Structure 1
Amino acid sequence: MIVSNMNDRVALVTGASRGIGRAIAERLAAAGAEVAVHYNQDKAGAEETLERIGGRGFVIGAELGVPGDADAVVEQLAAGLSGRRLDVLVNNAAAPPAGPIGTDSVEAFDRLMAVNVRAPYFLIQRLLPVLADGGRIISVSSVATRMANPTQTSFAMTKGAVETMTRTLAQELGRRSITVNAVAPGATRTEANGAIFETPGLSELIVSHTALGRLGSGEDVAEVVAFLASPEARWITGQVVDASGGLHLGVG
Structure 2
Amino acid sequence: MSKTAIITGGSRGLGRDMALSLAKKGIDIIFSYHSNTSKAQEVIDEIKQLGQDAIAFPFDANHHESGAAFIKSATAYLTKKHSSPNFDYLINNAGTGTFNLVENTTESQFNEMMNVHLKSVYFMTQEALTYLNTKGRIINISSGLARFSLPGMSAYAIMKGAIEVFTRYLAKELGSRQITANTIAPGAIATDFAGGSNKDADKAKMIASITALGRVGEANDIGGVVAFLCSDDASWINGQRIEVSGGMLV
Using structure 2 for the length normalisation, give the TM-score.
Answer: 0.92
Matched, 1:111 2:112: yes
8 Å CA contact 2:6, 2:31 repeated in 1: yes
Higher helix share: 2
The corresponding residue for 1:201 is: 202
Give yes or no for contact 2:22–2:227 (8 Å, CA) kept in 1.
yes
Tell me the equivalent position of 2:215: 214
Aligned counterparts, 1:183-194, within 5 A: 183-190=184-191
**Aligned to 2:22, which of 23, 28, 33?**
28
Counterpart position of 1:125: 126
Residues 8-46 of structure 1, C-alpha deviations (whole Å, 9 max, x = no match): 110011001100000000000110100002111122111
Residues 198 and 58 of structure 1: is their aligned pair in 2 closer, same or farther, counting only changes over 3 Å?
Answer: closer
Give the SS at the match of 1:238: coil
> What are the equivalent positions in structure 2 for 1:46-195 lying under 5 Å apart?
46-54=40-48, 56-82=53-79, 83-190=84-191, 195=196
RMSD (CA atoms): 1.6
**Identical-pair percentage:** 35
SS of residue in 2 equivalent to 1:12:
strand
- Counterparts of 1:96 and 1:65 in 2: how far apart (Å)? 12
Task: Tell me if structure 2 keeps the 8 A contact 1:138–1:182.
Answer: yes
User: Is it true that 1:42 corresponds to 2:43 in the alignment?
Assistant: no
Quick check: 2:190–2:196 contact (8 Å CA) kept in 1?
no
Measure how far apart 1:100 and its partner are. Answer: 1.4
- Structure 1 stretch displaced more, 31-40 or 99-108: 99-108
2:127 and 2:110 map into 1 onto residues whose CA distance is 24
Give the CA deviation at 1:195. Answer: 4.8
Alpha-carbon contact 2:64-2:119 (below 8 Å) kept: no
- Give the superposition deviation at 1:95: 2.3
Segments of 5+ residues of structure 2 without an aligned counterpart are: none
For residues 151 and 218 of structure 1, what CA distance do their matches in structure 2 show? 23
CA distance in 2, matches of 1:155, 1:195: 16
Q: 1:201 to 1:67 in 2, by over 3 A?
A: closer
Task: Spell out, residue by residue over 1:87-122, the C-alpha distance to the aligned partner (whole angstroms, 9 max, x if none).
Answer: 000000012124211221111111110110011111
- Mean Cα displacement is larger for which, 194-203 or 142-151? 194-203
Cα drift, residue 56 of structure 1 = 1.9
**2:240 matched to which residue of 1?**
239
- The one-letter amino acid of 2:75's match is A
* One-letter amino acid of the structure 2 residue matched with residue 99 of structure 1: N
CA shift, 1:231, in A, is: 1.3
Q: Supply the AA of the counterpart residue of 1:124.
A: T
Pairing partner for 1:15 from 1, 9, 14: 9
- 1: distance between equivalents of 2:194 and 2:68? 30
Which segment drifts farther, 191-200 or 74-83?
191-200
CA contact (8 A) 2:64 2:124 kept: no
Residues 223 and 67 (structure 1), Cα distance of their counterparts in 2 relative to 1, 3 Å cut: closer
Once the two structures are superposed, residues 32-84 of structure 1 have per-residue CA deviations (whole angstroms, 9 ceiling, x without a partner) of: 10000211112211111111111621111121231521221111111221124
The answer to whether the 8 A contact 2:17-2:219 is kept is yes
Decide whether the 8 Å contact of 2:7 with 2:91 is kept in 1: yes
